């Protein structure tokens, strides 16, 4: 009492000197009782479903919808990936697009196919007589019959040359009185070559289309491989999610069993008067909460199973939809992780997205080369050579023929057709092969559209496409760096989280066991025991999530590096081959 009185006296003595005087910014000397707050401003809530009460329902049997049997079907990760590669509809479509692109190459090559043409023809004509020499017998109409057969091959070459080789034969018979050879046979063998000197030399529309088709095939394959890589990563993620979902069911069931055992213990203690009835009620509430967690965990199993089945099933009738899938592959995987620079280098080398961007850039390069070629004037060199053949049946002149007196002024008539011109079709071919009657031609053909706006626009468009393709390539390379950094960061974080979660789970098990012993010795309460149960279940779930995150981080590193494709032996020829097969 003396000490308190002395302190109070000292306090009162110092007040005049301002030692404890209230200053700006100092704490208040004492709390002030506030004024009563005004009534809060709240909106008017309507009366919704007056008298509504949740209906009483029976406890549902925990099950997975669509599974015909509760017997578990084990599935290993390689099997799941293999089923996705063979049966996934999206991958089957991607493989089909790749095949279409390959057929596009064959179609483009068709521009250089040799074209064969055969044209048989029969002609008959009656022509009015023009004079006594060009008339039929008795100054009648001229009757002429032609039977011809023309055949040849033509085509173009990749560097722009065009060629044609044609062979023709004609048999002509006529009643024209001036004819000394009847019937006669005409044959001809011709060669024509057109060589572009400026425009279309080296680069032309068919060659451009072929090169674009080849690049498009590579581009489509790269897009398909990128889709495969994404699908494999998704299958692996779904697989580890399913493994985690089943383990989560086990964790929640274990927590439910422990809570149920605690509830039964509390009921026994309450019945013997050694515990309060509210403890049994409290533990019962916890049992109900854990029971709800089991149902939620099983619902998650069903949803993750459906996601995995959607990736590995070929159709709604696939038997896998009715299976209760359980992962069987080992969960823990801690591979040797490359450095950031090594991972980026592998991504730049292996990722199909890089090839996809490069192919897009190459398409613009081909378009620029073609557009620059089309800017040139057209100057073509045309060369032709034809050898002709002729033969027929000599018809001696009769004295009644008007020509007789001109050709045979003396009698007997000494005029005759040279033997080389007499004969049938074979004789005509003989003179053709001897090249007795050749025909040569050479020409230069020049043309240039005034203004040439189409070619200029094509060149400007191709240059803009190249600029965009280069930007996209740079963006893709930057994305490789971005994804590599994130993948390694996620892996490092997942390792640390797993270590922390494991330590927390082990500590929770120790604390829960200790709390349970204390409760049995009367040194703890039901509330604390239930609290430790909840903490243990949560920490087990956190460890499980950390393990799943680690597995997914490994999958992401493999996807980013491009190793997923090599590890799973992706074959575009068999990709999606079972997508249309019914089970």
Can you tell me the mean pLDDT for 110-126?
94
Is residue 151 classed as helix, strand or coil in its secondary structure? strand
CA distance 554 to 565: 15
Whether 48 is covered by a domain: the verdict is: no
Residue 391 has pLDDT above 80, yes or no: yes
Q: Which pLDDT tens digit goes with each residue over 459-490? A: 999 999 999 999 999 999 999 999 999 999 99
Are 89 and 151 members of one domain?
A: no
pLDDT above 70 covers what percent of the chain? Answer: 90
Kind of pairing, strands 72-75 and 324-327? parallel
Are 90 and 215 members of one domain?
A: yes
Instruction: Provide the pLDDT for residue 583.
Output: 45
Residue 415 has pLDDT above 70, yes or no: yes
Q: Which pLDDT tens digit goes with each residue over 204-213? A: 999 999 999 9
Are 92 and 126 members of one domain?
A: no
CA distance 356 to 98: 13
Are 347 and 258 members of one domain?
A: yes
Instruction: Provide the pLDDT for residue 190.
Output: 96
Q: How confident is the model at residue 581 (pLDDT cuts 50, 70, 90)?
A: low
Can you tell me the mean pLDDT for 251-260?
86
Instruction: Provide the pLDDT for residue 20.
Output: 43
Task: Name the residue with tokens 């674009």.
Answer: 212
Q: What token pair was written down for 189?
A: 């063998």
Instruction: Provide the pLDDT for residue 13.
Output: 47
Whether 522 is covered by a domain: the verdict is: yes
Q: Which pLDDT tens digit goes with each residue over 10-49? A: 444 444 444 444 444 556 667 677 777 787 777 777 777 7
Whether 344 is covered by a domain: the verdict is: yes
Are 259 and 215 members of one domain?
A: yes
Instruction: Provide the pLDDT for residue 316.
Output: 85
CA distance 445 to 381: 7
Asked whether 129 and 140 are in contact (CB, 8 A), the reply is yes
Average pLDDT value over all residues in the chain: 85
Which CATH number belongs to the domain containing residue 81 in this structure? 1.20.1600.10
CA distance 129 to 135: 4
Are 513 and 431 members of one domain?
A: no
Can you tell me the mean pLDDT for 138-164?
92
Whether 545 is covered by a domain: the verdict is: yes
Parent domain of 192: 114-196+378-447
Confidence (pTM): 0.76
Whether 90 is covered by a domain: the verdict is: yes
The total number of structural domains in the chain stands at 2
Instruction: Provide the pLDDT for residue 16.
Output: 47
Ranges 2-11, 215-224, 522-531, 570-579: which has the least confidence: 2-11
CA dihedral 102, 104, 105, 108 (to 10 degrees): 170
DSSP 483-528: HHHHHHHHHHHHHHHHHHHHHHHHHHHHHHHHHHHHHHTTSS-HHH
Q: Which pLDDT tens digit goes with each residue over 320-360? A: 888 888 888 876 567 678 889 999 999 999 999 999 999 99
Burial of 335 (0-12, 13-18, 19+ CB in 10 A): exposed
Residue 140 has pLDDT above 70, yes or no: yes
Whether 465 is covered by a domain: the verdict is: yes
Whether 14 is covered by a domain: the verdict is: no
């Amino acid at each position: 009492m003396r000490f308190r009185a002395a302190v109070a006296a000292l306090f009162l003595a110092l007040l005049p000197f301002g030692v404890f005087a209230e200053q700006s910014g100092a704490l208040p000397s004492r709390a002030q009782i506030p004024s009563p707050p005004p009534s809060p401003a709240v909106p008017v809530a309507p009366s919704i479903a007056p008298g509504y009460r949740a209906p009483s329902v029976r406890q549902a049997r925990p099950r997975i919808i669509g599974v015909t049997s509760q017997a578990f079907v084990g599935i290993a990760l390689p099997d799941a990936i293999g089923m996705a590669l063979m049966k996934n509809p999206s991958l089957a479509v991607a493989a089909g697009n790749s095949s279409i692109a390959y057929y596009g190459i064959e179609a483009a090559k068709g521009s250089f196919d040799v074209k064969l043409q055969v044209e048989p023809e029969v002609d008959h004509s009656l022509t009015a007589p023009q004079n006594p020499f060009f008339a039929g017998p008795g100054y009648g109409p001229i009757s002429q019959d032609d039977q011809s057969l023309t055949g040849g091959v033509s085509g173009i070459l990749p560097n722009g040359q065009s060629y044609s080789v044609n062979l023709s034969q004609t048999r002509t018979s006529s009643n024209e009185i001036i004819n000394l050879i009847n019937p006669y046979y005409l044959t001809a063998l011709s060669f024509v070559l057109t060589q572009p000197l400026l425009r279309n030399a080296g680069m032309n529309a068919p060659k451009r289309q072929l090169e674009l088709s080849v690049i498009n095939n590579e581009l489509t394959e790269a897009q398909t491989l990128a889709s495969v890589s994404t699908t494999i990563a998704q299958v692996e993620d779904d697989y580890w999610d399913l493994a985690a979902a089943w383990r989560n069911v086990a964790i929640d069931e274990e927590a439910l069993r422990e809570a149920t055992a605690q509830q039964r213990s509390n009921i026994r203690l309450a019945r013997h008067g050694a515990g309060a009835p509210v403890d049994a009620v409290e533990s019962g509430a916890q049992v109900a909460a854990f029971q709800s967690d089991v149902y939620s965990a099983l619902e998650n199993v069903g949803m993750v199973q459906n996601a995995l089945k959607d990736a590995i099933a070929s159709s709604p009738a696939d038997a896998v939809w009715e299976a209760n899938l359980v992962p069987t592959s080992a969960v823990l995987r801690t591979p040797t992780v490359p450095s950031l620079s090594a991972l980026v280098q592998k991504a730049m080398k292996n990722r199909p997205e890089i090839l996809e961007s490069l192919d897009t850039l190459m398409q613009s390069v081909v378009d620029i080369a073609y557009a620059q070629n089309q800017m040139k004037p057209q100057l073509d060199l045309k060369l032709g050579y034809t050898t002709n053949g002729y033969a027929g049946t000599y018809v001696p002149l009769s004295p009644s023929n008007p020509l007789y007196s001109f050709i045979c002024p003396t009698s007997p008539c000494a005029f005759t057709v040279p033997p080389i011109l007499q004969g049938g079709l074979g004789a005509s071919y003989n003179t053709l092969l001897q090249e007795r009657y050749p025909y040569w031609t050479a020409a230069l053909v020049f043309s240039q559209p005034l203004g040439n706006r189409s070619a200029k626009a094509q060149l400007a468009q191709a240059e803009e496409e190249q600029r965009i393709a280069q930007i996209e390539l740079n963006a893709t390379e930057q994305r490789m760096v971005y994804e590599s950094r994130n993948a390694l960061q996620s892996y490092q974080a997942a390792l640390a989280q797993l270590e922390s979660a494991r330590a927390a789970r082990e500590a929770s098990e120790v604390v829960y066991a200790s709390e349970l012993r204390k409760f049995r010795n009367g040194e703890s309460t039901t509330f604390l025991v239930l609290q430790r149960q909840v903490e243990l279940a949560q920490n087990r779930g956190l460890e499980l999530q950390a393990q799943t995150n680690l597995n997914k981080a490994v999958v992401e590193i493999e996807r980013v590096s491009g190793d997923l494709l090599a590890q799973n032996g992706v074959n575009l020829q068999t990709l999606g081959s079972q997508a249309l097969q019914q089970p």
